[in-house]
Structure 1
Amino acid sequence: MDEASATTNSTATGLTTNTSHVNTSTSHDSSFEVVIADSTHKDNDNHSNSEDWAVVEEDQSKQYVHEVTEGALQGLSYNATLQTLSSEGTRDMDRWIVMPSLAQETFSKHTLQVLDLYKNRYIQELHPSVCDLTNLRVLSLKRCEKLQTLPATIGNLKNLETLDLMDASNVSSLPESLGDLTKLKTLIIGGHQGSGNKVLKALPSTLGNLQNLETLCLDKCKELEALPPTIGNLCNLKVLLMRECKAVKELPISMGNLTNLVEVSLSKCIGLTVIPPCIGNWQRLEDLVLNKCKNITQLPDSLCDLQSLCLLDLRACKKLISLPRQLGNLQSLKMLDLRTCKRLETLPASLGQLTNLQVLDISDCVDMQCIPKSLEKFKNMAIGWDDTRVEP
């Protein structure tokens, strides 16, 4: 069948296909460049008894279930080169109650590279056939709010590079086979802007097997109690985001092995009382965000060893009493944010050695009694500067 005929036949079932280009991004601020299942109408007179194709149709305040003979996937003409299957903008895929099998003749399971089930509000589990998509590179389950877990065989997806569970808020466990995803580069759980994850308490120890992982996002995993010690095996990790992981009380010492980290955010980790000295090994770290860690009282001296650090955000660390004396060793530091550190009484004199500092914010540091004279050269760019506090 030529390309024009395939497009015509699939459009007749309310679908459009285009496989000319693939964009593997899972962002939903803009559409996928390839949208394979764009359903525009459905013949509701042809119902079957197949629960696999049950969808929910919404009629203002009413909801009712019907079953469809020609589902979105069944409506496609055979396409041996299909690479992306997306629910965004469709009528039915985001309303599946039970996910159908993907083991059918509609496309080759060996060519599909992107499966995006964004914002499906009903499915509680993935069909096991997902794990047969051997060349899948991106699996996006963003905002699948009823999803509870992943198939035990998820580790079969040997070519997977991105697994996105952002705001899949009821995923309560992850299978041990997660550690078999050895090509995984990005793992997103929780979510900073939305609801995050409400129930996940632990990560599998096999997480440490993901030695190609570069980005780990655990934002708003509100019930996560600890990180597995094996996290220190993630030798290529560059970005670690743990904003609002409120139940985490300590960081494993093995995290000192994460020597390729460039960005770490632990903001609003209110259970943390101590930052371990092992962070001094993060020699490539550029951004360290600890804002609103309201139970931290001090920072390790090893913080001063981070020669690549450009941003240090400590705002609203309300119990922080002092800073390491040799903080002036951070010669790459450009921004130091200390606003609303209400118990901070003074600043280290060594800060005067910072030749690249561009922003110093000490506003609302209500207990600050003394500013070292060596910092006077920063007065024109400092926010919250008070000449009356400068030592004579």
Structure 2
Amino acid sequence: MAESFLFSIAESLLSKLASQAYEEASRVLGLYDHLKNLKDTLSLVQAVLLDADQKQEKNHELREWLRQLKRVFFDAENVLDEFECQTLQNQVIKAHGTTKDKVSHFLSTSNPLVFRYKMAQQIKDISMRLDKVAADRHKFGLQPIDVDTRVVHRREMREMTYSHVNDSDVIGREQDKGEIIELLMQQNPNDDHKSLSVIPIVGMGGLGKTTLAKFVFNDKGINKCFPLKMWVCVSDDFDLKQLIIKIINSADDSVFLADAPDRQKNLNKMDLEQLQNQLRNKLADQKFLLVLDDVWNEDRVKWVGLRNLIHVGAAAGSKILVTTRSHSIASMMGTASSHILQGLSLEDSWSLFVRWAFNEGEEENYPQLINIGREIVKKCRGVPLAVRTLGSLLFSKFEANQWEDARDNEIWNLPQKKDDILPALKLSYDLMPSYLRQCFALFSLYPKDYNFTSYGVIHLWGALGFLASPKKNRAQDDIAIQYLWELFSRSLLQDFVSHGTYYTFHIHDLVHDLALFVAKDDCLLVNSHIQSIPENIQHLSFVEKDFHGKSLTTKAVGVRTIIYPGAGAEANFEANKYLRILHLTHSTFETLPPFIGKLKHLRCLNLRKNKKIKRLPDSICKLQNLQFLFLKGCTELETLPKGLRKLISLYHFEITTKQAVLPENEIANLSYLQYLTIAYCDNVESLFSGIEFPVLKLLSVWCCKRLKSLPLDSKHFPALETLHVIKCDKLELFKGHGDQNFNLKLKEVTFVIMPQLEILPHWVQGCANTLLSLHLSYCLNLEVLPDWLPMLTNLRELNIDFCLKLRSLPDGMHRLTALEHLRIKDCDELCIKYKPQVGECWDQISHIKQITIDEQKIWKKR
């Protein structure tokens, strides 16, 4: 299916070839004519790619032609990347190179004469191959289509919440909810207080089993009946120990954030007997409801082991609610008859479709679309996910032929398993623009239930060159956020939540299945069942713990992405010279292999949480294409590599080191650096005194035990938008800040685990016109919020969590008219005073659209 990306790849290649930088560099190197010929042929091919993509489903020969083009395109990308590498290297040698560097450069294969000859041969070869393939385009009768018209019709997004499903958000499930609640309220069979009732909800994927379980879980009557409620997502991995740990964590929602990592580590070290004791203590004498969501395990031995451990602490009347796609699993686990979840009725499906396809009441204006829409709904077979996907796909489209295309598209006739709704989802994929398709396909590299952040997506898409070239005043991350919104508008993302300057989200299991399906030619999730890696694979992800792939055979030499958590010294990437992304989180390398400096195409190197690595080779600084370097949590790293200023493309840098003094001038010379994290640098006492960061947008400082000084002002940080300060006990946020700090343009400020913080720093007031989000968490000595807080007239989100001494909000909260989200958790006095509807100070905050007080959430429409 990767052939559907070709239009976007061709567009990217042509954009590079047309740029002024390429033209100037090609003239210097004497390659202008060669690149012009390549560009001309590429333009001819691109013109018919969209037509070819639409016709390939029926034509095997056409699909093979597109596969040949894909191979040429990938090779062309690599050649042009070589060209960029050489250009960047020349810049570094000119700006920072010593005489020895320049002599060495001249004598190497990077010598301009040698490089020109080598590149000319490669470009000629690419041009000849492309000419040969392009000549065949005429026999398919392809017509030129210049613009990818499969665009997203943007609309105002409806505010939705997924953690607590409101009645109005669920259509056609009232009877299901009532039946399940009745089962949960019933006394255990035969009045047997020792039994533990297990009630399964069974149905095919996408029917809304999880939504229904949440609908029940948040019911007021259920809250009264079960003092303790726990929610655990089981998914594919039915690991007994990890499930017990999840249940323990779910049962205890009052864990201090500061203690959570150590506590989690301690739980991981325990054996099952110790964990059982922990679990018994949590469940003792409490009537509980436990939801086990998305169970796939068919091993009865594993289930009986888990049930027996839970049963030890179960009080009379406790219940387990299970969601699963499998009737055999339900039969194995259930003590009561399964609740078989059926599809929605046609009328309920239609109501759901109308909600997503039209604005409220708008459907009455388009009677010609009603009959077509009802035929589309019939094809969804009562599956809410399919209904919602197609409804949102047709939002703001009012031409009958557009609706008929959705109804008549041949994708419905693709072979499928019984009750499989992949065709419904794939239609949404097929109508995506090419640039969005290749981005979506990369979700297949992550396991189900993965917690995505927009930060992670930005470095993934950005490092692979999938993001369009930013226009004036737009950054790379702005483009990525736009793509995410477009995917969300097509109902392909769930729980899409804004946190001020970043987003979190999930994808539904069926959407994950779709990503796997469309990416199967290019992406591979490697597990112990995989024997070999096909030569066409571009992106690899190792998903199983303790699987190192030693027995794998591979013909793939063009791999661009390797996600390899936990990799050890046996991992060898030397053959993958075209790597763009290398993720080695939690790896066990003590030193990186020296060839790492030869991976000149590398854009992203992720070494987070390597607890053994002590040194990095200085050759890393030869990677002029490197945009993302993540060293957070490498707590044994003695020093940063020398020559950081040579990483002239670095965009996002995370640092952990034992150094007492960071090479600040080197870092400040990174002219593209926009995101900087300093974490677990236990020996650093001061940061950035007098150092300017002209384009830095985010500064995050984590767990620096000795840090005392962090001067911030608009002169040295003119572009800073986001500041996170987390668990820096000795940091004095008030010292060294003059009036000039009132000019900071911060949009998001976060203070977490800051016991020394008794009042907010006065310089936050200087962000009155820009601050959008303020997060205060575990600031245990914060006693009062300043009177000037209501001056933050653009503030949209205020989170206050576990600030135990904080007793009230400042007067004038009503002036925060832009405030949309207020969350207060584990602040006893605040929670009582501002309790929705009944608190003595409720009127001061009742104008806010979303208010969450100790997890009780309410929304109000404006």
TM-score bucket (shorter structure): 0.5 to 0.7
Match of 1:296 in 2: 757
Structure 2 counterparts to residues 13-162 of structure 1, below 5 A: 15-22=532-539, 38-40=549-551, 79=557, 81-85=558-562, 87=564, 94-96=568-570, 102=574, 106=575, 109=577, 111-121=578-588, 123-162=589-628
Q: Does 1:225 align with 2:685?
A: yes
Following superposition, the deviation at residue 354 of structure 1 comes to: 0.9
Match of 1:183 in 2: 649
In the alignment, the residues of structure 2 paired with residue 188 and residue 367 of structure 1 have an alpha-carbon distance, to the nearest angstrom, of 36
Conserved 8 A contact 2:565-2:587: no
Conserved 8 A contact 1:290-1:313: yes
In the alignment, the residues of structure 1 paired with residue 710 and residue 816 of structure 2 have an alpha-carbon distance, to the nearest angstrom, of 29
In the alignment, the residues of structure 2 paired with residue 271 and residue 344 of structure 1 have an alpha-carbon distance, to the nearest angstrom, of 21
Structure 2 counterparts to residues 257-272 of structure 1, below 5 A: 257-272=716-731
Following superposition, the deviation at residue 269 of structure 1 comes to: 1.9
CA distance 1:117–1:29, change in 2 (3 Å): closer
Following superposition, the deviation at residue 125 of structure 1 comes to: 1.9
Match of 1:174 in 2: 640
CA RMSD of superposed structures (Å)? 4.0
- Aligned residues between the structures: 309
CA distance 1:142–1:291, change in 2 (3 Å): closer
Conserved 8 A contact 2:579-2:602: yes
Residue aligned with 1:229, SS = coil
Alignment counterpart, residue 827 of structure 2, candidates 356, 364, 369: 364
Following superposition, the deviation at residue 374 of structure 1 comes to: 9.8
In the alignment, the residues of structure 1 paired with residue 686 and residue 852 of structure 2 have an alpha-carbon distance, to the nearest angstrom, of 37
CA distance 1:113–1:291, change in 2 (3 Å): closer
Match of 2:708 in 1: 249
Match of 1:64 in 2: none
In the alignment, the residues of structure 2 paired with residue 170 and residue 256 of structure 1 have an alpha-carbon distance, to the nearest angstrom, of 34
**CA offsets 1:373-392 (integer angstroms, 9 cap, x no match):** 998431585849xxxxxxxx
Conserved 8 A contact 2:697-2:721: yes
The one-letter amino acid of 2:646's match is: D
Conserved 8 A contact 1:309-1:332: yes
Q: Which runs of 4+ in 1 moved over 6 A?
A: 28-31
Match of 1:48 in 2: none
Match of 2:667 in 1: 207
In the alignment, the residues of structure 1 paired with residue 634 and residue 805 of structure 2 have an alpha-carbon distance, to the nearest angstrom, of 38
Residue aligned with 1:144, SS = coil
CA distance 1:316–1:243, change in 2 (3 Å): same
Match of 1:329 in 2: 791
CA distance 1:230–1:133, change in 2 (3 Å): farther
Between Structure 1 and Structure 2, whose CA radius of gyration is higher?
2
Match of 1:61 in 2: none
CA distance 1:267–1:145, change in 2 (3 Å): closer
The one-letter amino acid of 1:115's match is: L
Conserved 8 A contact 1:304-1:328: no
Following superposition, the deviation at residue 324 of structure 1 comes to: 3.4
Following superposition, the deviation at residue 279 of structure 1 comes to: 5.0
Structure 2 counterparts to residues 280-291 of structure 1, below 5 A: 280-283=742-745, 285-291=746-752
Residue aligned with 2:568, SS = helix
Following superposition, the deviation at residue 289 of structure 1 comes to: 0.9
The one-letter amino acid of 2:606's match is: S
In the alignment, the residues of structure 2 paired with residue 245 and residue 338 of structure 1 have an alpha-carbon distance, to the nearest angstrom, of 23
Conserved 8 A contact 1:315-1:339: yes
Structure 2 counterparts to residues 312-327 of structure 1, below 5 A: 312-327=774-789
Match of 1:68 in 2: none
Match of 1:8 in 2: none
Give the helix-richer structure, 1 or 2: 2
**CA offsets 1:5-62 (integer angstroms, 9 cap, x no match):** xxxxxxxxx6525445458xxxx8969xxxxx94326xxxxxxxxxxxxxxxxxxxxx
Match of 1:352 in 2: 814
Residue aligned with 2:813, SS = helix
Following superposition, the deviation at residue 340 of structure 1 comes to: 4.6
The one-letter amino acid of 2:579's match is: L
Match of 1:6 in 2: none
The one-letter amino acid of 1:324's match is: P
Following superposition, the deviation at residue 330 of structure 1 comes to: 0.8
Following superposition, the deviation at residue 280 of structure 1 comes to: 3.5
CA distance 1:144–1:332, change in 2 (3 Å): same
In the alignment, the residues of structure 2 paired with residue 78 and residue 374 of structure 1 have an alpha-carbon distance, to the nearest angstrom, of 64
Match of 2:488 in 1: none
Alignment counterpart, residue 844 of structure 2, candidates 377, 380, 391: 377
Residue aligned with 1:303, SS = helix
Conserved 8 A contact 2:813-2:845: no
Mean Cα deviation higher: 179-188 or 267-276 = 267-276
**CA offsets 1:53-81 (integer angstroms, 9 cap, x no match):** xxxxxxxxxxxxxxxxxxxxxx76694x4
CA distance 1:286–1:38, change in 2 (3 Å): same
Conserved 8 A contact 1:229-1:254: no
Conserved 8 A contact 1:187-1:213: yes
Residue aligned with 1:349, SS = coil
In the alignment, the residues of structure 1 paired with residue 654 and residue 747 of structure 2 have an alpha-carbon distance, to the nearest angstrom, of 21
The TM-score with structure 1 as length reference comes to 0.64
Following superposition, the deviation at residue 85 of structure 1 comes to: 5.0
Following superposition, the deviation at residue 185 of structure 1 comes to: 1.2
Q: Which runs of 5+ in 1 are unaligned?
A: 4-13, 32-36, 42-74, 191-196, 385-392
Mean Cα deviation higher: 138-147 or 205-214 = 138-147
Q: Which runs of 5+ in 2 are unaligned?
A: 1-67, 72-530, 835-839, 855-862
Match of 1:71 in 2: none
In the alignment, the residues of structure 2 paired with residue 361 and residue 78 of structure 1 have an alpha-carbon distance, to the nearest angstrom, of 52
Match of 1:67 in 2: none
Residue aligned with 2:785, SS = coil
CA distance 1:120–1:315, change in 2 (3 Å): closer
Match of 1:388 in 2: none
Following superposition, the deviation at residue 225 of structure 1 comes to: 2.9
In the alignment, the residues of structure 2 paired with residue 383 and residue 221 of structure 1 have an alpha-carbon distance, to the nearest angstrom, of 35
CA distance 1:142–1:304, change in 2 (3 Å): closer
In the alignment, the residues of structure 2 paired with residue 362 and residue 114 of structure 1 have an alpha-carbon distance, to the nearest angstrom, of 39
Following superposition, the deviation at residue 261 of structure 1 comes to: 2.9
In the alignment, the residues of structure 2 paired with residue 363 and residue 165 of structure 1 have an alpha-carbon distance, to the nearest angstrom, of 33
CA distance 1:322–1:376, change in 2 (3 Å): same
Conserved 8 A contact 1:232-1:257: yes
**CA offsets 1:74-133 (integer angstroms, 9 cap, x no match):** x76694x443455459xxx6243xx8794xxx45x4x33233444431x32223332232
CA distance 1:341–1:38, change in 2 (3 Å): closer
Conserved 8 A contact 2:533-2:556: no
Residue aligned with 2:667, SS = helix
CA distance 1:270–1:366, change in 2 (3 Å): farther
In the alignment, the residues of structure 2 paired with residue 337 and residue 131 of structure 1 have an alpha-carbon distance, to the nearest angstrom, of 43
**CA offsets 1:280-329 (integer angstroms, 9 cap, x no match):** 3332x332111321102333333223223222122432333443332212
Following superposition, the deviation at residue 362 of structure 1 comes to: 8.4
The TM-score with structure 2 as length reference comes to 0.32
In the alignment, the residues of structure 2 paired with residue 117 and residue 342 of structure 1 have an alpha-carbon distance, to the nearest angstrom, of 39
Match of 2:47 in 1: none
CA distance 1:291–1:145, change in 2 (3 Å): closer
